[in-house]
Amino acid sequence: MAEYSALSLLKHAWSGNRDWRPAWRKPEPKPSYDVVIVGGGGHGLATAHYLAKEHGITNVAVLEKGWLGSGNIGRNTTIVRSNYLLGESIRFYDFSVKLWEDLAQDLNYNVMFSQRGVLNLAHSPGQADDFIRRGNAMRHDGGDAVWLNRDAIARKVPGLDLSGSARFPVVGGLLQPRAGTARHDAVAWGFARAADRRGVDIIENCEVTGFVRDGERITGVTTTRGEIAAKKVAVAVAGSTGRVMKLAGIERLPIESHVLQAFVSEALKPFVDTVVTFGGGHLYMSQSDKGGLVFGGNLDGYNSYAQRGNLPVVEEVMSEMVALFPGLARVRLLRSWGGVMDMSMDGSPIITTGPLPGMYLNTGWCYGGFKATPASGWCFAWTIAKDEPHPLNAPFTLDRFQRGILTDEKGQGATPQLH
């Protein structure tokens, strides 16, 4: 399959773009593979890519119950960041940012990664102290963080209400300059194409209906397209983890599935060139290259597998955005969607061997799934190939909940909807 390049774009332009080959094959499932990855979202595809690239394991199948991009990889607000507090989280997510910085070249696919920065607004002196503490922790562990005062924020985000009568006065903000956004569907397509070029079979419309066992060991899967044997079976299905793992007899996991809505407005002229987050509630907003404002907020607050939300959260998110940017009050909403979030009990992910022999589990991403895509795939591939965690994902094992060694980033305790 040809490399994408400026020359190839010019060549195909002369032919009316009629001769492009498909970005990936549409193979039939083989009877057996070395590794079967259940879930063709960003994490599953990234895992397949790094298994082939870093470990030379190419006899791999990625099974997706729908089409590529139909899950959370196409249902998020595209933000990439590593502005965490705990060292385990900072090191993992900053490694992801570093992978993002070279991802387009690695995949030979434009994922439209834009390092426009992420700005967390602080609305009280106490909150400012908390953000500054986080920024210092980020810098201590090799990340980047800059504290902006009110005047600097006024210059950077001119549409923000910084008047004396603002409902939520802004006292400053923590900026991570290397953070930004990427194009979510391009990430899925880029990883799919790169994995396919290394020999991975990407099998769409292939839902897993059960697991094949030899005693306690998982030796394959049953699907809507037949039974597939595998030496190793990896599960990366985000908010569907509970349902899929139940097929293997795992009835209880330390996660809950919640709906997270996101929204896009009508297209506007360039209005904001960074990602802005609200410190007085839960709102994050950026502007896409097409001009639409992309934004989201809180979980819908109830357990659900539905890819749709409810109106109270819509009202909450809109009111927070108008409180920050009164000039947006008459902007029209273009569309909305919902992603199914796998919320862990401590707000941190799970990348681990087990819980059954021959099985590997990737879940518990809460709000961090999209930005973690490259690092998640890289670490999960390492774990599958070597049957042990990499130091970056060693803190994110499943047994930490039994051992009491939690990575509680927000300090909320075992309350998933608060993470």
Max alpha carbon distance in the chain (Å)? 69
CATH entry 3.50.50.60 includes domain 26-78+184-254+346-418: yes
DSSP state of 252: -
User: Tokens 């709102």 correspond to what residue?
Assistant: 283
The confidence score (pLDDT) of residue 47 equals 98
pLDDT per residue as tens, the chain (419 positions): 567 888 888 888 888 888 888 889 999 999 999 999 999 999 999 999 999 999 999 999 999 999 998 889 988 999 999 999 999 999 999 999 999 999 999 999 999 999 999 999 999 999 999 999 999 999 999 999 999 999 999 999 999 999 888 889 999 999 999 999 999 999 999 999 999 999 999 999 999 999 999 999 999 999 999 999 999 999 999 999 999 999 999 999 999 999 999 999 999 999 999 999 999 999 999 999 999 999 999 998 889 998 888 889 999 999 999 999 999 999 999 999 999 999 999 999 999 999 999 999 999 999 889 999 999 999 999 999 999 999 999 999 999 999 998 898 888 888 887 78
pLDDT for residue 136: 97
Our measurement of the distance from residue 191's CA atom to the centroid of its chain's CA atoms, rounded to an integer in Å, reads: 14
Q: What is the pLDDT of residue 1?
A: 55
Return d(Cα 51, Cα 269) in angstroms, integer. Answer: 42
**Block residue for tokens 């991802």:** 103
Q: Domain ranges in the chain?
A: 26-78+184-254+346-418
Q: How far is CA 157 from CA 67, 177, 374, in A?
A: 38, 14, 30
Q: What is the pLDDT of residue 99?
A: 98
pLDDT at site 318 = 94
| SS3 (DSSP) at 134 | helix
Enter the DSSP assignment of 153: H
Residue type, 356: L
| pLDDT, position 22 | 87
User: According to the model, what pLDDT value does residue 11 have?
Assistant: 87
